Amino acid sequence: MPFLENPVSGKRKGYIEVIAGSMFSGKTEELIRRLKRAKYAKQRVEIFKPIIDTRYSEQEVVSHDANSILSTPVSSSGNILILAQNVDVVGIDEAQFFDMNLPNVCNQLADMGIRVIVAGLDMDFRGKPFGPMPNLLAIAEYVTKVHAICVKCGDLAQYSHRKTDADKLVLLGETDIYEPLCRLCYNEATRKGVK
């Protein structure tokens, strides 16, 4: 999305973009693509991720396809406001792991004329809205819903099915713990208790 300028005030308009979907759907890949394009356009870009996301790297946002971009790990959404000074674009990965103040932070950044691009899981492993994502989807000017491919039937997948008996909400993992499933296969797997 291009930077838009208000013809009356002459100020740059900020806005929020959300990329949402299940695990293995390409959310982070799309986030990285958009952020790299902004960098190529010589825009000032700052990228953030939750400090708990250390699956691939402590300092980079990394997609499942091993594409990466340097980021700043933060412990709370409030830190993003402090660190996002003099930038044109802010990228935020794994938004579902942030606190519920993240939508307010994104609104403040957009109100400052910053393009905010957020990626995250829209549902947890139970198929329920995840963390601040529902509120981010509600306030975003642009929403992109991406899908994985169901590993059982090959249809479009929107669920992140957990293959273990672990009950805790946040459990970092890859294909060893999660698999993308369509609605039908997810319902069958969870109804039968298949893990």
- Hey, what amino acid is at 66? A
Active site residue 58: no
Exposed/middle/buried for 20, CB within 10 Å: 0-12, 13-18, 19+?
Answer: buried
Please identify which of the residues 94, 174, 179, 188 carries the catalytic annotation: 94
- Secondary structure E strands in 31-80: 45-50, 60-62, 68-70, 72-74
In the chain the first and final C-alpha atoms are separated, in Å, by 41
Task: Give phi and psi for 192, each to the nearest 5.
Answer: -80, -10
Name the nearest CA neighbour of 47 among 64, 29, 60: 60
Q: Which residues are designated catalytic?
A: 94
